[in-house]
Structure formats: C-alpha cells, structure tokens
Amino acid sequence: MNRLKAIIFDMDGTLADTEEIHRKAFNAAFDQFNIPCQWDQQLYKRLLSISGGRERIKQYFIENNLMPDYEGTINDLALSIHKTKSEIYRQLLIDGHVGLRIGVERLIEEAKLKNITMAVATSSSTINVETLLKSTLGSNALDLFEAIVTCDIVENKKPSPAVYKRVLKQLDLSASDCVALEDTFNGNRAALSANIITVITTHFFTLDDNFDGASLVINHLGEQNLPMTAQFGESYAAKCVDIPLLELILEDKYQRNSCQKIAAFSAEQ
C-alpha cells in the first residue's frame, strides 16, 4: 500500500522562480517612496533569511539606521511600502513575467491523475498565491489544491511549523503521509518541525542554505529531457521527481524510522 497521500508545495521559489520578481518589485516600491536604496541580488539573498516582505523591509531599515521622512512609525512605513510592492509584484505576474519552475506542471498533472492530494503552505499572502496560480496554471488553478494556507490565515511565518500544521489539520492527514516541497532554510525547518519530510529545489538565492534533515536536495524537479541533479540525498537514479520517487523517499524514511525505534527498544531490554 502506497503511503503518499499528499504533496504540500511552498510557493515562492518552489512553484515558480518568483524571488527575482519580488526583488525588482521591492526596488520599484522604494523608488515610488523616494527611498534611496536598491537591493541587489547578493543583499536580497541575505535578506531572504527573514520570512515576510514587510519584516525584511523593517529589518533592513533598522540595520542601516534608515528612517525616511514619514509621518508614522517604522512599522507603518514598512507596511505601506510592502503594500505598494505587492501591487507591483502581482501586476508583474499578471503580465507574464514569471513561469513555473522546471517539472512543476508535470508533477501537478501526475498527482492529479493519481488522486494525490495537493496543498500550498506559504508565508506569502492569499492574493499573491491566487494571482500566481491563476497566471501560471489557468483560471481553475485553485481547484487543484485541497488546502491553501497563507500568512493571512496563519500569523506565525516559517520557520514556525504553524502553516504546515494547519495544512495537515485541513487535510485531516498525518505528517507521515505527506511530502513537502521547499526551497529555503526556513521552509525546510518549518516542514521538518511539523514532522513532514522534505524535498528541496534550490535556486540562485538558496544554493548556500543549510538543508540538514532534508531527504533530497536537487536543482529542480526535472523533466525526462532535462534531468534533475541531486545535490544531497538518495534520488534512486531518477531523472525527475515524480510520484514513484516521492513514494520511495517516504517509504524509505518510514522504514528507517521503524528500524531505529526497534533498535532503541532492543537496546533497552
């Protein structure tokens, strides 16, 4: 009997290469507020360790002792800039400036055909998720996912496991029946803290992240004509992440955990 019942996708950087679009949207928002700062790729790579765009803005201003002329607190300013940034970002999505990552649409189609439940667990906003899904997967994209949990639903952002625990509750599934697809240190920690095994797809902004505990770390989900490259973990010589591979990873993890429990019990006797 196959154990895999659900795949839980992160959004930014996992479903789609959105991080560069986010960076450009932040810089455009700074311009609109006449704030003399631009985040280059290296700086943004560091700032991604902070979950949440509003939180990144606030932390950057604090670290650089930057408080533009603004009637309100630093929290108010960060909130206003982030609202503008989000509007710019969503327009870029609608205009087609971002696509799904390699292998994502293939895996979604396979999961749909094999009746594997799919969900989204993200620190992004609901409207951002809906805009991305509709702009990349079509107007009926939301129907593909049994649960979509965002920062509008769960306040505590990754690496808190709250978003994943909420998804499990909504799906009424055990963590041992699910695999999480992530791309960042915070996302990996969030899923693992909810006892969900992880498969990581890296990109420019997360190549150097620490992914301890992940079952598999790869460059992308792969296609038959564009194989993935395993950076860590057992890929079982697969060319891409598909349902059979996820089931192998899940079953292997389950068996190893069972063996460890048996060994620990035997040692106590």
Which residues have a catalytic role annotated?
A: 10, 12
Q: Which two tokens stand for residue 247?
A: 């089931």
**3-state helix/strand/coil string of the chain:** CCCCCEEEECCECCCECCHHHHHHHHHHHHHHCCCCCCCCHHHHHHHCCCCCHHHHHHHHHHHCCCCCCCCCCHHHHHHHHHHHHHHHHHHHHHCCCCCECCCHHHHHHHHHHCCCEEEEECCCCHHHHHHHHHHHHCCCHHHHCCEEECCCCCCCCCCCCHHHHHHHHHHCCCHHHEEEEECCHHHHHHHHHCCCEEEEECCCCCCCCCCCCCCEEECCCCECCECCCEEEECCCCCCCCCHHHHHHHHHHHHHHHHHHHHHHHHHHC
Let me know the angle formed at the C-alpha of 161 by 141 and 149, rounded to the nearest 5 degrees.
25
Other Cβ atoms less than 10 A from the Cβ of 262: the count is 10
Q: Which tokens hold the place of 54?
A: 């509003």
> Given the DSSP bridges, would you call strands 178-182 and 147-149 parallel, antiparallel or unpaired?
unpaired
